[in-house]
Amino acid sequence: MALQAERPPRTASEKAVPGRARSTRKKARPAGGVTWRLRLRRDRGLILMTLPAIGLLLLFNYLPLLGNVVAFQDYNPYVSTNGVTAILHSPMVGLEQFQRMIEDSDFWNALRNTLLLFVIQLLLFFPIPIALALLINSVVRPRVRALSQAIMYLPHFFSWVLVVTVFQQMFGGAGLIAQILQDHGVDGFDLMTNSGIFKYLLTAQMVWKDAGWGVIVFLAALASVSPELYEAAAMDGANRWRRMWHVTLPALRPVIALLLVLRVGDALTVGFEQILLQRKAVGVGASEVLDTYVWSTGIQNGDFSYAAAVGLVKGVVGVCLVLLANKFAHLLGEQGVYKK
């Protein structure tokens, strides 16, 4: 009679799990040992508080996106008093509105003015809040720092009507500077009607109104820098400029990258109300941007389909710019808007 081969003893893991089928049926727990049901039960209070904000976002930001279908139609709002019925009864024309946009010289003029104004604002406006934050952060006395912040924040709460009025009273043909020059025999000073410097004038207005408000983000980033880093740099012999270059600016780098990505994504939106208030003074050729072009063609002229096509192209280009800028931030080692 043949001897039966002895079975090797079972290990401790095999004793704990007697069958392989049972071990395969056992589901792996997620990282941290917290299931989505447990997280839902734990965070249901926070979720309920965010539901009104999500509802408003869906109602006013995402639901209107369905109206972009009129960009592919010959939309006639007078078919019915109901806007949805008018969309359903308007004929589809395909890409006719986009072809018309490519052949429209006014559209290309508005696009050129928009991109030029964006480049000017990016070069002249974007670095100013960073410089102001570094300047305020170097102020030692708390009262002087608080007073400086309050003075710079205040213009942000002014409306564009008030901002344009202030600039008109200062730099207009009947403004303060023009009157002083007239008293000294110099006539013809009027920056508000000079189309050649209109884009720089818009940038100056933005700097005066919003530069102080942009300082808040950078000051918050500087507040998170440990004072021990400055002390260690000072002990190593670094002067004030070296400490700013090797400690302060690296701390601001993630915030700068994030705001730069968002600013690039908003490149085709360069101030509708601000330009609309001053376009008659310098003419349409120098002041027409994509936002004012959509308003004039869609609201003033009633060409809703063509205006929707221009707005749709603007939105798509803005999304592409955000993705490209965020990819560039990843290449520089920064997180950007979202991680890889």
The tokens describing 141, both together, are: 């006395």
106-115 confidence digits (pLDDT tens):
999 999 999 9
What's the token pair of residue 297?
A: 């063609």
Model pLDDT, residue 21 = 46
pLDDT of 2 > 50? The answer is no
Q: What's the mean pLDDT when you consider all of the chain?
A: 83
- 55 burial level (CB within 10 Å; 0-12, 13-18, 19+): exposed
pLDDT at 185 over 90: no
* pLDDT at site 3: 44
- Average pLDDT for residues 207-211, to the nearest whole number? 90
Query: DSSP string spanning 95-155?
Result: THHHHHHHT-HHHHHHHHHHHHHHHHHHHHTTHHHHHHHHHHHT---HHHHHHHHHHHHGG
Rg (CA), the chain: 30
Mean pLDDT of 65-75: 89
Predicted confidence band at 8 (pLDDT cuts at 50, 70, 90)?
A: low
Confidence band, pLDDT 50/70/90 cuts, at residue 32: low
**4, pLDDT greater than 50:** no
Q: What are phi and psi of 323, to 5 degrees?
A: -65, -40
Residue showing tokens 């007697």: 18
pLDDT digits (tens, 9 = 90+) for 9-21: 555 444 444 444 4
Note the pLDDT tens digit of each residue in 133-168. Answer: 888 887 768 888 888 888 888 899 999 999 999 999
Lowest mean pLDDT among 74-83, 191-200, 295-304: 74-83
190/336: higher pLDDT: 190
What pLDDT, on the 0 to 100 scale, is given for residue 293?
92
Report pLDDT for 254. Answer: 84
Asked if 79 contacts 98 with a C-beta cutoff of 8 angstroms, the reply is: no
For the residues 248-272, what does the mean pLDDT come to? Answer: 83
